Amino acid sequence: MTVFGVDAVQSAGTGELVVGAKDIVTPLARELARERGVTIVVASAHPPSSPVTANQSLPPAPVAVAPVFARPSSNGSQSPPAPLKPPAPALYRRGAPLHPAVAPAALHEPRTRRPELPSAAKSVGRVLVVGAGHVGMITAMKLAEANIIEEVVLVDIAEGLAAGIALDLTHSTALLGFDTKVRGVTSLAEAGAAEFVVITAGRARQPGMSRTDLVEVNAGIVGALARDAAGISPHTVLLVVTNPLDEMTHHAWRASGLPANRVIGMAGVLDSSRFQALTGLAVDSSPSSVRALALGSHGDEMVIPLSQARVGGTTITDAIPQAEVTALVDRARNSGAEVVGLLKSGSAFFAPGASAARMVLAMATNSDEIIAATVCANGQYGIADGYVGLPARLGRTGLREIVELPLSADELASVRTAAARIAERVADLEQMAAPA
């Protein structure tokens, strides 16, 4: 077996290069032969029954390409395969003209518009995500991927930020298989009326900033956004993600003037997911096999009713020792701080963004699932008034129903304590916001 390279083609001039059935012609040699008009001829190791003169050869193709290996004939002998007609397009240099028989048809035919894929049926017209930070970006992405919303609009006062993220998300539509329109603007007025408004805008706590400082700064941001959103979209549902979550949800309700069922806070879905993930890791099982709801506050008063928690079909306290369960609850409660400590700069955004999108999609589809949400109680669980994390069913108009689960006496007391602590912090916030 002989390997023929470009030197052999150059030596052939403009004539023929005769190779054996088992010889190899390198791709570059084949390309050079095509360019110079050199015919590559495969000489048969077993000539046919009719006589063949020394000057005869196999009939060449206009640009024949020698095969790498011969194939056995029906009688077991080696016979050369037919030359490739035309040459494979992989043998051409980038940018070189292709043989007409291997060039894509689109290069030879008049350009026509590619037929559009049928759009999925959309159940929601427009959703606004206010704040194009990491949480807002993930929220918008998950909402767009669901492909049930006509348009997702990112809103951020930073010039170009929302528009840039929206364009980047739009570039992924073909990759991810959705056709949701994604737009980025700098104001709620430019965004237009929407069925759902997700508020993620706000400041994270900076070094030296007290919790009171954070509450005061974010209350100004969330209050103004809630008022503007209600003015532009009087029938919208507000979903608040900004921290401190419990106080900001109550404040958005007061500032917007919307009914309490149309102002909801995102916390329980996130805390529940964190507990499910950590429990799944602890028992080496899928997190989806863990059922649990995180109630109370998004903070120190978070309550996970273990009487309602399951791993597979087993009560969680039967599947995991009590001490380990307690440790899992504590870790879930402090998971946000754990992520911040690992990142060194910034805070969690994948799970919070996915949680916010999950709540909007539950409302958009009138899902019958029970999820944990920060909602305004009206006597349920013995809580007369105020926002707190409770089991709920959501729908197109926001809160459909607060679901009362059979909690143990200790669990019920913990949820009521959380509601009381939230009410105290809300009172402090309202006192700060009151004119002097």
Q: Which residues are catalytic?
A: 298
Among residues 241, 206, 204, 205, the alpha carbon closest in space to that of 226 is found at: 241
Closest to 155 measured CA to CA, from 147, 166, 144, 146? 166
Torsion of CA 33, 34, 36, 40, to 10 degrees: 40
Report d(CA 269, CA 264) in Å as an integer: 12
Q: What 3-state DSSP class applies to 263?
A: strand
Helix (H) or strand (E) holding 238: strand 237-240
Helix (H, G, I), strand (E, B) or coil at 150: strand
Distance (Å, whole) CA 394 – CA 313: 26
CB atoms under 10 Å from CB of 154, counted, come to: 29
How many C-beta atoms surround the C-beta of residue 16 within 10 A?
15
CB half-sphere exposure, 316, CA atoms < 13 A: 28
CB half-sphere exposure, 245, CA atoms < 13 A:
28
- For residues 271 and 283, give the distance between their C-alpha atoms in angstroms, rounded to a whole number: 18
What is the phi-psi region of residue 37: left when phi exceeds 0, alpha when psi lies from -120 to 50, beta otherwise?
Answer: left
Place of tokens 């991927």: 145
Query: What SS3 state is found at 218?
Result: helix
| Contact predicate 158/132, CB 8 Å | yes
Q: Which residues contact 409 (CB under 8 A, 6 or more apart)?
A: none
